[in-house]
Chain A
Amino acid sequence: MTSLTDLTLKDAITGLRGRAFSSEEITRAHLEAIENARMLNAFVLETPERALEMARSSDKRLADGDGGPLEGAPLGVKDLFCTKGVRSTAGSRILGDFIPTYESTVTSQLWRDGAVMLGKLNMDEFAMGSSNETSAFGPVVNPWRSRGTNRALSPGGSSGGSAAAVAASLVLGATATDTGGSIRQPASLTGTVGMKPTYGRCSRWGVVAFASSLDQAGPLAKTVADAAILLTSMSGHDSKDSTSLAVDVPDFADFVGRSVKGLRIGVPKEYRVDGMPPEIDALWSKGVAWLEDAGCEIVEVSLPHTRYALPAYYIIAPAEASSNLARYDGMRYGLRVEGATLNEVYEATRAEGFGEEVKRRILIGAYVLSAGYFDAYYLKALKVRRRIADDFTAAFERVDALLTPTAPSAAFGLGDNSADPVAMYLNDIFTVTVNLAGLPAISVPGGLDDQGLPLGLQLIGRALDEGTLLSLAAALEEAAAFGEKPKRWW
């Protein structure tokens, strides 16, 4: 018999509804797996008592024939989501032992639908990073290792804890957030499925803010079908987030398995960058062939401003962050370092509370917004952002979706990229364009490289067309037949 932690979310929900096992049993199985995987550092807080309490409530509802779409299914929550009565840190020392007195909209919807919370997942501080190394709790270790070595690899970031927990079967699925690639890049590096929905699909209320015009929540999951199930629960209009879209939420699971015959798929030539490993190029070609076999028509398209997306992002995101993070002043919550004057308290608190990368980005943000540089940097970046969005609009007049690699490399060693900020930023070269344009995208595992490490393919869609993306992602998943799991060493 396979272990309960080996199940997909979809199969677990079926098993729970059919009373093949109880929520308490499957929750206990996951709690045990978490306990045995502490060396991965995927969790910053385990909540076993709360999990078992929620599981028992779910079992009662299931016994009564009630229960929501996720009833009894144990999940993990990225520590960027505020959870009522449960410490939420955003991976930062500055939030200290912050215990929210409210629940984020996204997580409240998961609990409404019956899910069970296993704990809070590690992440880069304030979601700023691509390797999980900026976390105040230390890096997450990728459950995957290069063949024949035991070198510690990064799971990517910022949702590194979410991705590692899903890959190591510690949770059935997890929430994550994506500001420049923070769901999709870790999904690619851990052989999991990660989806960033259209900006405005999921409420940002109760999610600690990084760059508000780019931040979007989404699922990390074992399969495309699981991602669709989670996305349905996480989505929906929320009057507490002024940018939340007042549009209907379909049952996204309905799109999984639908024929993709006749869809037109664009392959953007600008995504073939210098120095891209040949294996990633080869996987991309395979992806094209898989979709062709499924009946899609392949079209070469051009997104001429692609190479300017990352530099524009590194003006816009720090500018918004420097403003959003001004709230951490040591007065109302979180860390306070005492001093003689108000300004001394501010400066000492923020010096001690923020990590190096967060400080760097706040300083860049303050600089590009300061008098004399606003037009040259910030306004220029907003105009380039429009150019990038217009590129997509033009492409989507000819195609239904775009296919690209997700990340420019497989999982890299912890410490490999941390000395050079720009080298780290380049991890998001294929993912960041989508955040700037507000579009949905999904990463699906496509295969292993010659080191035995997973590589992902990315599909980008029209605004609010997550359904088509899920159909295409499911077609890729079926063709790739990626069944690999990391070999357990922890």
Chain B
Amino acid sequence: MAIDVDTVRKVAKLAHIREREDRLAPLARELSGILGWIEQLREVDTEGVEPMTSAVATALPMRDDVVTQGGDAAGILANAPRKVGGFFVVPKVVE
């Protein structure tokens, strides 16, 4: 299925990536090419097949509900682009 410019714009919005208007048409072509190639999966009969969601057939382990790490605010903030007084600084989100 071909992807048009509007779809690229919508998906880029969903993915929080700004794409320049002049990039939308080339991207639509590239993504259509890739998805066109992927279409061949339709040939495979998957009637009654369970989707495979994990590479190993084991149940996820459970651990005791206890704190294993914590109290390292300095470490967590060490790479913050902006921080003040032990907090991340982010753009204003509430008017």
Contacts and interface: CB of A to CB of B under 8 A. Distances in A.
Given A242-B60, A351-B17, A386 B50 contact: yes
Interface in A298-352: 305, 307-308, 311-312, 314-315, 322, 326, 329-336, 338-348, 350-351
Contacts of A421: 30, 33-34
A379 interface: yes
Nearest to A312: B41
B50 A351 contact: no
Contacts of A258: none
A383 B19 contact: no
A437 B18 CA distance: 35
Contacts of A245: 56, 58
Nearest to A377: B38
Contacts of B35: 364, 367
A387 interface: yes
B85 interface: no
B49 interface: yes
B44 A384 contact: yes
Given A199-B56, A382-B51, A332 B79 contact: yes
Contacts of A47: none
Given A347-B18, A363-B8, A366-B15, A384 B46 contact: yes
B63 to A, nearest CB: 7
A405 B11 CA distance: 38
A188 B18 CA distance: 37
A348 B34 contact: no
Interface in B5-62: 7-8, 11-12, 14-19, 27, 30-31, 33-35, 37-44, 46, 49-56, 58, 60-61
A387 B41 contact: no
Contact of B40 (A101, A308, A341): A308
B37 A363 contact: no
A326 B15 CA distance: 8
A362 interface: yes
Given A343-B16, A364-B31, A422 B37 contact: yes
B41 A364 contact: no
By size class, the interface of chain B is 35 or more
B2 to A, nearest CB: 12
Given A99-B79, A351-B17, A360-B30, A213 B53 contact: yes
Overall SS of chain B's interface: loop
A414 interface: no
B56 A243 contact: yes
Given A311-B41, A363-B15, A383 B52 contact: yes
A351 B61 contact: no
A398 interface: no
Contacts of A102: 75
B46 A380 contact: yes
A438 B54 CA distance: 9
A334 B11 contact: no
A293 B54 CA distance: 38
Interface in B65-92: 72, 75-76, 78-82, 88, 90-92
A197 to B, nearest CB: 12
A391 to B, nearest CB: 11
Given A311-B37, A363-B17, A363-B31, A214 B55 contact: yes
Given A332-B80, A377-B38, A389 B52 contact: yes
A243 B81 contact: no
A334 B78 CA distance: 11
Contacts of B61: 239, 242, 246
B55 A348 contact: no
B49 A386 contact: yes
Contacts of B19: 351, 359
A466 to B, nearest CB: 15
Contacts of A381: 41
Contacts of A311: 37-41
Nearest to A386: B52
A370 interface: yes
15 contacts: A101-B76, A242-B60, A243-B55, A246-B61, A315-B38, A332-B88, A342-B92, A345-B90, A350-B16, A362-B15, A365-B15, A366-B15, A370-B11, A379-B51, A387-B44
Interface of B: 3, 7-8, 11-12, 14-19, 27, 30-31, 33-35, 37-44, 46, 49-56, 58, 60-61, 63, 72, 75-76, 78-82, 88, 90-93
Interface of A: 98-99, 101-102, 198-200, 213-214, 239, 242-243, 245-246, 305, 307-308, 311-312, 314-315, 322, 326, 329-336, 338-348, 350-351, 354, 359-360, 362-367, 370, 377, 379-387, 389, 420-422, 435-438, 463
Q: Which 9 A-B pairs have the closest CB atoms?
A: A438-B55, A382-B51, A333-B79, A336-B81, A383-B46, A199-B55, A347-B18, A386-B52, A101-B75
Given A420-B33, A463-B56, 18 more contacts: A99-B79, A101-B75, A101-B78, A214-B55, A242-B61, A243-B55, A333-B81, A336-B82, A354-B17, A359-B17, A360-B27, A360-B30, A363-B8, A380-B42, A381-B41, A382-B52, A384-B46, A421-B34
